[in-house]
Structure 1
Amino acid sequence: MAAIGRIVDNLADFWRRSYTRAYLACLFLFITFLGSFFKKKELVPESYFSNSRNVLNVYFVKISWGWTLGLLLPFILLSNTYKKPWTFVLKRLTSLPVATLIWYFCTEAFCLIEEITGSCYESDTMQVIHGNITTKAACRKAGFIWDGFDISGHSFILAYSALVIVEEMMAVSHIPSSDRNVFLNCLYIALNVIVAIWLLMFTSTSIYFHDFWHKLLGTFFGIMGWCVTYVVCFPKFSLPGLPPKESEEKKDP
């Protein structure tokens, strides 16, 4: 148990620095540019991750928002109750509906954009168009291919989820090691593992899937969702406000 506590302490010390979280947003943009370059030049060979049926994509990325909410909900409940009234905890929990609204609005908008900009083709050669089929659902039902401006939902949700998680994990920094229970420590480590998976799968998406502009816009909206909430709005309003932090943060060297 002491080993788990030390792992949590080291991770918390890493994430507590505001510039670390800002660098994470920059890292997503960097991976988008570099991965797209590798894809265009075909510098990375086909691999297990180039198959969309890989385990991490099917059982994690496809339900990524479920994983994010499922781990953050108990974590916020446990980490935000330390020396805080329940009214504060309830306020903090509203960050999850806010994040869910952003996720829902963006993903629906991406689908709408793909729908109104797309056309139905007989094959991936894009040579025979079926103008009489005007919706993506009808096109796929007929066994054809719908091609529109497909903003990458993967790039969006993986970047946005990771940024939201690392912000909420800040709550651990105000709880002394001696006052953290095993369950909270395990939840914190699990959240870090999920962030690592999101980074891995974001990299995979950048290297193997989507066009550059589709990925760049998806990443941009993910970063903007985080920036508008945790950087601009949450610090100004008590509902939901920011996660609690240690009262006297260590000074960065």
Structure 2
Amino acid sequence: MKSAQEVHITESVLRGITPRRPLRQNMTPLQASEESDDAKEEEKSSQSWLSVWENIICWCRFYLLIPSNAKIAYYLSTLLALSIVQHYVDLPHLESITGKHSVLNQVFVKKGWGFTLAVFLPYRFVSLFLHPKLRVSLMQLIVRSALTTFFFFIWCQVLFPVIDNFSATCIAGNETLPLTKAQCLSTEGRQYFSFDISGHSYLLTYCVLIMMEESKEIIYFVWLKRQLFDEAARIRKEDSSWPDFDEKQVKSLRRRFPKVSPVVAFTFFNMSILALLWDFMLLVTTLYYHTFAEKVIGTVLALLSWAFLYRRVFPWLFSLKIFRS
């Protein structure tokens, strides 16, 4: 969860603080005048793109930056409520939206982890160019991408299918046949039963929580924008855990920030749209597919995988010297 200071930073910038270039201390009057003229030119050229990306962040932050505890409570409560509806109400299918062969399911959800990587990796990669320790930030991004992919793969591609096959039973009349799911269902009159843990419940919950975690990088952008362009609202170094920049770094960041921030806003917007789609498809899964136990196990495993990685593994791993220097 974000600290109170981070929330204050985000809220202040999104209320429309006018960016100003901070002036260096101990300057001569001539230097101050030249610095002021440069600041005015920068302000004119930067007003348009600042307002655009700040508005995008303002629109999207309400969805991606909500507290994780609130999101978890939402997932568990809707899982219970919609499973009850599924049990007592025979809901009709809208095949183009809720069917197994719908475009949403076959194109998006079936390749859900790939789409998630394709959205959050560009967002985090672009952010590297506004960090003082690019190599360290890149190493951390690679590690997070590798480990989150491993947890998706080991559950959805390995363990869930193994459990499904191990618990499978094919029945034809009063006879039990040792057939695979495809073989069993290839002939009419046969019934296939198994404990099929919901891979959709795991994948969609897992993907949204990871995008929420990765989207918190936007707090750094908000802070950095204030440090570079807003003298009145600058935060004292002793009150901030963010990096300190020398004059050379500040000049470089001022040049790069206007070029990078529109890409950040665009990819941040893409993550919001994809998170909305995943949450919608999770509602479809909960309403139409799997038993209550299968959905609960899939959802709980996703929550535990996310918490293990982002609350235990990554904080410990990135505190090691190799990831700090």
Corresponding residue of 1:206: 286
SS in 2 for 1:121: strand
Corresponding residue of 2:135: 86
| 8 Å contact kept, 1:159–1:219 | yes
Alignment of 1:70-149 (within 5 A): 70-83=118-131, 84-107=133-156, 108-122=158-172, 128=173, 131-140=176-185, 144-149=190-195
SS in 1 for 2:74: helix
Deviates more, 1:149-158 or 1:113-122: 113-122
Corresponding residue of 2:77: 30
Alignment identity in percent? 22
Deviations 1:106-156 (A, max 9, x none): 11211111111111134xxxxx26534243344345565532001000000
2:213 is equivalent to residue 167 of structure 1: yes
| 8 Å contact kept, 2:64–2:272 | no
Deviations 1:64-85 (A, max 9, x none): 0110111122122112442232
Q: Distance in 1 between matches of 2:314 and 2:202?
A: 20
Cα 1:81–1:140 change in 2 (3 A) is farther
Corresponding residue of 1:53: 101
* TM-score normalised by the chain length of structure 1: 0.82
Cα 1:213–1:98 change in 2 (3 A) is same
| 8 Å contact kept, 1:73–1:93 | no
Cα 1:62–1:15 change in 2 (3 A) is closer
Larger Cα Rg: Structure 1 or Structure 2? 2
Cα 1:239–1:113 change in 2 (3 A) is farther
Corresponding residue of 2:24: none
Q: Distance in 1 between matches of 2:175 and 2:277?
A: 39
Corresponding residue of 2:44: none
AA aligned to 1:135 is T
Q: CA deviation at 1:28?
A: 1.3
2:203 is equivalent to residue 157 of structure 1: yes
Structure number having the greater helix percentage: 2
Deviates more, 1:25-34 or 1:160-169: 25-34
- For structure 2, the 5+ residue unaligned runs are 1-48, 230-256, 321-325
Q: What is the aligned residue count?
A: 233
Deviates more, 1:4-13 or 1:96-105: 4-13
AA aligned to 1:82 is L
| 8 Å contact kept, 2:169–2:177 | no
AA aligned to 1:117 is S
Q: CA deviation at 1:161?
A: 0.5
Q: Distance in 1 between matches of 2:211 and 2:319?
A: 18
Q: Distance in 1 between matches of 2:130 and 2:61?
A: 16
* TM-score normalised by the chain length of structure 2: 0.65
Corresponding residue of 2:269: 189
| Aligned-residue CA RMSD (Å) | 2.4
